[in-house]
């Protein structure tokens, strides 16, 4: 430590100057989120092509998680476990915590108070520059004096140091503002990860339900085809059939049997995807997933969507909130860069004790103190600092363009999701009509068989056709649920 002697009459003037300078203006532009045009309804901004007239969209949104509307206890249980176990959520959470810690560091940087202490054994060199004064001041006995000064000794030190830098040009204020925006960015990223994983889990779950349904229906098709093939073989052996239908039917049977391992493999892969999302090992969720309800062929309550009002999109989608926070941080950094063009003033003070004798350490005579102002004046690096200001302005312009692009991309995803969902609804209706037609045909064939007008082959073939249509319907229902999840994700509906 060192002691700076300042006439007492100047200290009030210095303090008054520092207090006066703290009232200076904050440099840099204030952040104001760009106003972007929004449609009055979700159907207003729609490209030509698939009509959305079959959709009914409500403006009010409920506070419950969107997956609860599927009324599936297994899906609910999986969603509840997702955020606690998924590694991506854990990483995003740590990033958010880091941003909060960084914000607290920036907030408290104007005032620093440190305590220090040390006790160490020392010995000066007899030929150090400090010994030259001994030889000059006492040339007669300089050797004896130098040896005495060079004797080892223990030095005890302890004290407090404090420094305060008034925020003259708003540099610290803009840094705090930027760090707060970074916290908002990390929070939006965390919510984005949660929404993405929640939607991915639902998509995988419905895909597994579909795979399980396809396997069951495929096994029924195989059984019916085997029955039909046996019937043809019996009729051929009895001389009632030419046998021309045997090979086509065998080929059909082999085709169905070959499709079964693929479906089983897909089911296993989807099960592993769900396990990975929940941070579990492969096979650990098989029992839970096998107990899930079977996928129905009925698309009930699928025409109504509760999405809220379109203007809420910019405040609900995490990617838009992240882009806005990034723009906010870039705007605040302009003020930081501009403040670096101007001088900085700080006030430093320190008090403590220092002694080479342990018995005297802490006594009033061993005290020492120092106080005084310091300043930073950028004189020779103005060119570099001005270019840094220009770079921050360019970065802010890029962030503004990226923000607008993110919003436009969000509306594109909304329109794509609604279009795909509407198209799948229409496909489902067509398949449903075709299934009803095949069932009526099956009833007529059954009546003709009971009347002795046809044999069992036609009925077995009609049953197989109905099951084939049920497979397409099951696939359509699964797609509807997946596309519905995509709609909820596109409009930024949150999870739990």
pLDDT of res. 2: 35
Q: For 139-153, 397-411, 434-448, which range has the lowest pLDDT when averaged over its residues?
A: 139-153
- CATH code linked to domain 31-110+165-342+378-490: 1.20.1600.10
Q: Where are the domains of the chain?
A: 1-30+111-164+344-377, 31-110+165-342+378-490
Does the pLDDT of residue 455 top 80, yes or no? no
Cβ 278 vs Cβ 90: under 8 Å: no
pLDDT of res. 358: 66
More confident residue, 227 or 19: 227
Does the pLDDT of residue 483 top 70, yes or no? yes
pLDDT of res. 303: 86
pLDDT grade for 408, boundaries at 50, 70 and 90: very high
Q: For 49-58, 176-185, 193-202, 331-340, which range has the lowest pLDDT when averaged over its residues?
A: 49-58
Q: What is the 3-state secondary structure (H, E, C) of the chain?
A: CCCCCCCCCCHHHHHHHHHHHCCCCCCCCCCCCCCCCCCCCCCCCCCCCCCCCCCEEECCCCCCCHHHHHCCHHHHHHHHHHHHHCHHHHHHHHHHHHHHHHHHHHHCCCEEEEEEEEEEEECCCCCCCHHHHHHHHCCCCHHHHHHHHCCCEEEEEEEEEEEECCCCCCHHHHHHHHHHHHHHHHHHHHHHHHHHHHHHHHHHHHHHHHHHHHHHHHHHHHHHHHHHHHHHHHHHHCCCCCCCCHHHHHHHHHHHHHHHHHHHHHHHHHHHHHHHHCCCCCCCCHHHHHCCCCCCCCCCCCCEEECCCHHHHHHHCHHHHHHHHHHHHHHHHHHHHHHCCCCEEEEEEEEEEEECCHHHCCCHHHEEEEEEEEEECCCCCHHHHHHHHHHHHHHHHHHHHHHHHHHHHHHHHHHHHHHHHHHHHHHHHHHHHHHHHHHHHHHHHHHHHHCCCCCHHHHHHHHHHHHHHHHHHHHHHHHHHHHHHHHHHHCCCCCC
Does the pLDDT of residue 107 top 80, yes or no? no
Find which of 111-120, 151-160, 200-209 is predicted with most confidence, using mean pLDDT. 200-209
pLDDT of res. 139: 63
In the chain, what percentage of residues exceed pLDDT 90?
Answer: 37
pLDDT of res. 475: 94
Mean pLDDT of the chain: 83
Does the pLDDT of residue 17 top 60, yes or no? no
Does the pLDDT of residue 234 top 90, yes or no? no
pLDDT in tens, 417-427: 999 999 999 99
In the chain, what percentage of residues exceed pLDDT 70?
Answer: 84
What number is the average pLDDT over the span 434-443? 92
Does the pLDDT of residue 282 top 50, yes or no? yes
Does the pLDDT of residue 182 top 60, yes or no? yes
pLDDT of res. 263: 93
Does the pLDDT of residue 1 top 50, yes or no? no
pLDDT of res. 7: 43
pTM: 0.80
Does the pLDDT of residue 299 top 60, yes or no? yes
Does the pLDDT of residue 27 top 70, yes or no? yes
Q: Which CATH class is domain 1-30+111-164+344-377?
A: mainly beta
More confident residue, 226 or 298: 226
Does the pLDDT of residue 4 top 60, yes or no? no
Does the pLDDT of residue 13 top 60, yes or no? no
pLDDT of res. 8: 41
pLDDT of res. 156: 74
Q: For 73-87, 155-169, 223-237, 385-399, which range has the lowest pLDDT when averaged over its residues?
A: 155-169
Does the pLDDT of residue 496 top 60, yes or no? no
């Amino acid at each position: 430590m060192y002691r700076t002697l300042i006439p007492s009459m100047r200290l009030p003037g210095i303090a008054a100057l520092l207090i006066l300078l703290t009232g200076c203006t904050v440099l840099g532009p204030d952040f104001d989120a760009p106003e972007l045009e929004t449609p009055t309804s979700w159907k207003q901004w729609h490209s030509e092509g698939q009509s959305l007239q079959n959709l009914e969209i409500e403006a009010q949104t409920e506070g419950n998680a969107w997956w609860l509307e599927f009324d599936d206890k297994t899906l609910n249980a999986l969603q509840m476990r997702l955020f606690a176990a998924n590694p991506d959520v854990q990483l995003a959470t740590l990033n958010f915590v880091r941003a909060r810690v960084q914000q607290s560091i920036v907030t408290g940087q104007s005032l620093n108070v440190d305590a220090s202490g040390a006790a160490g054994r020392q010995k000066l060199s007899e030929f150090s520059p400090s010994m030259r004064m001994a030889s000059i001041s006492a040339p007669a006995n300089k050797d004896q004096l130098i040896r005495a000064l060079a004797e080892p000794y223990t030095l005890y030190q302890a004290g407090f140091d404090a420094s305060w830098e008034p925020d003259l040009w708003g540099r610290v204020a803009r840094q705090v503002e930027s760090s707060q925006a970074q916290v908002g960015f990390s929070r939006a990223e965390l919510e984005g990860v949660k929404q993405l994983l929640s939607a991915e889990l639902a998509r995988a779950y419905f895909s597994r339900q579909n795979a399980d349904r396809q396997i069951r229906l495929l096994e029924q098709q195989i059984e019916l085809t085997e029955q039909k093939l046996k019937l043809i073989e019996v009729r051929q052996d009895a001389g009632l059939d030419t046998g021309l239908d045997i090979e086509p039917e065998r080929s059909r049977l082999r085709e169905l049997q070959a499709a079964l391992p693929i479906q089983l493999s897909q089911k296993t892969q989807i099960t592993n995807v769900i396990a990975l999302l929940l941070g579990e090992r492969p096979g650990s969720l098989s029992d839970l997933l096998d107990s899930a309800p079977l996928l129905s062929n009925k698309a009930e309550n699928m025409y109504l969507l509760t999405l809220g009002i379109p203007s809420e999109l910019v405040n609900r989608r995490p990617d838009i909130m992240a882009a806005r926070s990034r723009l906010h941080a870039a705007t605040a950094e302009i003020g930081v860069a501009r403040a670096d063009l101007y001088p900085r003033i700080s006030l430093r003070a320190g008090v403590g004790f220092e002694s080479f004798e342990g018995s005297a350490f802490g006594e009033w005579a061993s005290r020492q103190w120092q106080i005084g102002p310091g300043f930073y004046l950028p004189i020779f690096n103005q060119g570099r600092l001005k270019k840094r200001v220009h770079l921050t302005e360019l970065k802010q312009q890029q962030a503004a363009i990226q923000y607008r692009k993110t919003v436009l991309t969000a509306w594109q995803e909304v329109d794509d999701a609604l279009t795909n969902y509407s198209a799948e609804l229409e496909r489902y209706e067509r398949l449903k009509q075709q299934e009803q037609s095949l069932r009526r045909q099956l009833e007529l064939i059954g009546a003709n068989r009971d009347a002795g007008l046809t044999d069992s082959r036609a009925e077995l073939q009609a049953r197989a056709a109905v099951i084939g249509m049920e497979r397409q319907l099951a696939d359509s229902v699964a797609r509807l649920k997946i596309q519905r999840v995509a709609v909820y994700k596109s409009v930024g509906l949150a999870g739990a």
